[in-house]
Structure 1
Amino acid sequence: MPHPSTVFERDWLASRETADHAARSQGLTDRLSDWLAEGVVGPYRLCDLGCGSGSNVRYLASRLPAGQYWHLLDHDAGLLEEASERCRSLAGVVGLLPQQGDLVKALEALVPDGAALVTASALLDLMSAPWLEQLVRCTVQRRAACLMTLSYSGEIELMPRLADDGWINRSVNAHQQQDKGSGPALGPGAWSACEAMFRRAGYRVFHEPATWSLGASQGELQEKLLTGWARAVTEWRPASAGRIARWLDARLALVQRGESRIRVSHQDLLALPDVPYPAAGIRW
C-alpha cells in the first residue's frame, strides 16, 4: 500500500494536470524542440526534477524530437513507480531511468553528465536562492537547456470578488517564501531570479505567462486550491483562523453554485546556451 503522503500528492497532481497542460507555453516548447533538433540527431538525455507522477514528461514527449532518454528524479518512490509506468510507452521516449534522491542535498550528483535538458514543473517557486544558484551552475556546466514551467508568479484573481481576496493573496505569497526544505523559498520572485542568473551566465532566456483559468467545470480543482490556500494562510496567520474560515466558506459556496472563476498567474521560462546540444554517442 502506498504511503499516505504519496496518495495525497498523487490525488493533487492528478487533479491539476489538465489545468497545467492547458496553461503551458507551446511557444517555449517549440523553441526548445528546435534547439534540440539543431544539434546532432538524438538520442537526447533529459532530466526531470521532482517528476511526481510524470506530468511534465507526458506533456513534453510528443512535442520534442524522438529519441528521448528521461532521467526521472523524485524523493517519493511511489510516485517514481507511477511515472515510470505511465511514461515508458510515450511516443518519442526510448528509455527511462527513475532515480530516488534528495534534490536539495544531491542535485548536482543526480543531474547526469551529457544532459541536454534540465526541466521541472511547479517546483521553482518552492526553492531557495542557494538552490537556484546550484541549479544554474550544474546546468551551465553541462551546456544544457533549462525549462522551468508553471512557476507561481504571485497574482490570484477570484471572481466574483470578496472583501478578503486581496488579503488572502498577499498572505499566500508571504507563506510561499517560508522554508520549504532548501532555505527561505523565493516564492513568486523565483522565475525572475532564475532569468537573471541564467542571463549572467551568458544564456539566452525566454519567458511567457502560463495562467491557470478555472471555471465551473473545474469545481473539484477549485475546491482543493481554495482549501489549500486557506490551510497555508492559517499556518501563516493562526490568530486569523476564524476570518480565514469565513472566507473559505463563502468561496466554496460560490464554487458549489457554479459561480466561481479563478485565475492563477504562473510563468514558464526557457534558458538556452549559445551552442546547439552536442548529442553524440549516448549509451543507455
Structure 2
Amino acid sequence: MTVQYKFIRSDNASAPIQTLYFPSKGTQEVTTTWQLGGPGLPTYSGWEAIQIISPVGVESNKAEFRIRCADQGQEEAAEPQGQLSDLAIEDITLNEHCFVVVKVKNNGPGAVPDKVWTDHSPDSSAVYLYINGKRWGGKTIWGFDPAKNLQTPGGTATMTSNLKVAGTATIEAYIDHTYKVRETDERNNVMKKGVTCQPAAAMQPGVVAQPGAVAQPGMVAQPSVGKEDCISFNPVTATVQQIQGSWKVVDGSHWMFDFGANKAEADQTLAIIKKYGFTHSCYVGRPGPSFTYLRR
C-alpha cells in the first residue's frame, strides 16, 4: 500500500507531500523540520498535525505547542527567578452583549517590565484569542491596560474584545504569545473555555425579544437594522506587517485582517481601504459571520 501525507500547521503552512510504502500491515515513524528564528518567525504558538492525502483523506489529532527561537548572542541577560513576573489568564467570560472578556493577573513575585507599555509594535505582549480552534486576533497589554495595573505583583486587568459569540463557542486565550516577558511560569499563559451567549429574556408573555427585532402585541416581529456590529480603525495609520509568519493588515495594536502567507492580497486589501477611506469593518453574525463589509 502507498500512503501520501504532509505536515500542516495552524498558520496554514504545510510541508511537502511525502510518500510511504507499506509492503504489509505495520507502522512507520515520520518527522518534519520547521525553520524558526530571525525577523520572519521568531516565535510560534499554535498546532501541528499530519494530513493524510491518499488513499483516504484524514487528519490526525492536533499537537499544540509554543516555541521561541533567538539568534545567538541575542538572549536577554539572565534574571534571578525571584524577580520575574508571572502573567496568567484567570478567566474567560462573556459580557452582557456576548463579547469575549479575558481577565489577566500578574502572580508575581516580580513586576512586569516597563517595555510592555513603552514598546508599541504589533508584536508587543498581548492577549491573543482563538475561537473554535481558529485564530481571531487580540489586543496588546499597553492597549487594554494603560493604567499599568498588571505591572504590580497581584495586579489584574480586563481585556474586553470585539469578538462576539453567537450561541456556544470554545475560546482559547493566550497572554504574551510573542514571548516578550520573561516569567517564572509559562504554563499558565493559556486557557481554553467553553462559553455560551444567553438569549434575551421574554418581553411579555407570548412575545420573545430577539436581537435586532422589534415586536409589538398582535404583530409579527420584524427585523430592524439596529446597531451595527463594527470595529473602527484609522485607514491613514493602517499598514501591512508580517507577524509570526503571517501577513496581516494592522492598525496599531489592532490586528484587523489575517492573510496567512499571501502578502499580495494583504497589500491589495490595504490599498482598497485607503482608496475609499473605509474606517469600519462590520459583521452580520459572529463568530463565522454570514456577511461582512467595510464602511466609512
Q: TM-score, with normalisation over the residues of structure 1?
A: 0.24
**Structure ranking higher in strand proportion:** 2
Q: Pick the structure with greater CA Rg.
A: 2
**Structure ranking higher in helix proportion:** 1
| Larger RCO, structure (CA 8 Å, separation 6 or more) | 1
